[in-house]
Amino acid sequence: MRWLIACVALLLSPLSLCEDSPWDNALTKQQAQALRFLQGAVEMHFHIDPPTQISPGGLIDHLRQARLVGMRAVLIKSHGESTAGLAYQIGRELPDFVVVGGVVLNRTTGGINLAAVERLASIKGHPGRVVWMPTEDSQAQVELTARLNPGKPPRAAVPVSKNGQLLPQVREVIAFIGRNDLTLATGHLGAEDALLVLKEGQAQGLKRMIATHPMDYGARMTLEQMQRAVATGALLEFDFRQMLYAGGAQMIRKLGVEHCFISEFWTYTLPGPPAPRPFAPLEYAGLEGVGRFVEQMHEKGFTDQELDTLVKTNPARLLGIAATAVQGSG
């Protein structure tokens, strides 16, 4: 119990080292619920981009805190760089904690660039496991950004299809992902492009595929399109912030918990209405904040077992780690 109380102090004072905690009170119900939720959790979408105009960037200290509260694994992501090498280095510093990286096929990594994926797969210890199709440089995202910023010169897109067919280099990358047992994610592709990618992955026998944020950005899917994604064997990734305020919980109910997972619960913005909020990881709300999220999900009818499926079992399968055993990432 002492380490649990120490972790309460850590979350209420994020930069503490969680050594000799002054907290000697019993955990509240919400704090206990939060620790149960986080114990063994797998975060599939932790942004560790260097700071830019739109993102403050995640910190390695946030990963240390994740390990201290019992989380099991984190997939680190950057829109601009491969994170496989960084995952290898962090993994050596955080024993008994799985740190996984990936590459987003944006222009800064060469677009649909097989060489970048080959590099990802070559690093010792297999820390690079996820390949995202273009995000900020997808055709759908570029078009959305242009609509939101009229008068600003549009950025160049990274296409993945032409006349309803995947480009040959996209098929080549997907084939490599299959041969090397990596995980394919659709990034911010438009719905129909995402489905083309997932169908190709299914045809090539991929075991792990993600329909990324099907309620977000230009990647938004209809329920029927989400069901088509499920039919390819993909799991649908829902942002935790959509669970309470944007219909995400109801959408998961329609699709089935077994076909979905929740991500970004260890990232920048606190759960709340769709209004501008300061950047702050969910854990900085303290265990009380995490516990409130769990309570609200309970109110929506989700059991602890279902929440475990959404933040532990399904994400672990996507990273190719066992459902229960804790592993190091070196």
Predicted confidence (pLDDT) per residue in 100-149, tens digit: 999 999 999 999 999 999 999 999 999 999 999 999 999 999 999 899 88
Average the pLDDT over 159-181 and give the result: 97
CA distances from 311 to 9, 20, 70, 114, 231 (A): 24, 30, 13, 30, 21
- Per the document, the length of the chain is 330
Would you list the domain boundaries of the chain?
Answer: 2-319
pLDDT at res. 219: 86
Least confident stretch, 20-24, 35-39, 128-132: 20-24
Choose the CATH number for 2-319 among 3.30.365.10, 3.10.20.30, 3.20.20.140, 3.90.1170.50.
3.20.20.140
Cβ–Cβ < 8 Å for 184, 209:
yes
pLDDT at res. 318: 97
* Stronger pLDDT, 292 or 165, i.e. the higher one: 165
Cβ–Cβ < 8 Å for 319, 75:
yes
Helix or strand run (H / E) with residue 60: helix 60-68
pLDDT at res. 327: 39
pLDDT at res. 51: 59
Q: How many CB atoms lie within 10 A of CB 169?
A: 14
**Average per-residue pLDDT for the chain:** 84
pLDDT in tens, 61-106: 888 888 988 999 999 999 999 999 999 999 999 989 999 999 999 9
The DSSP output letter for 40 is: T
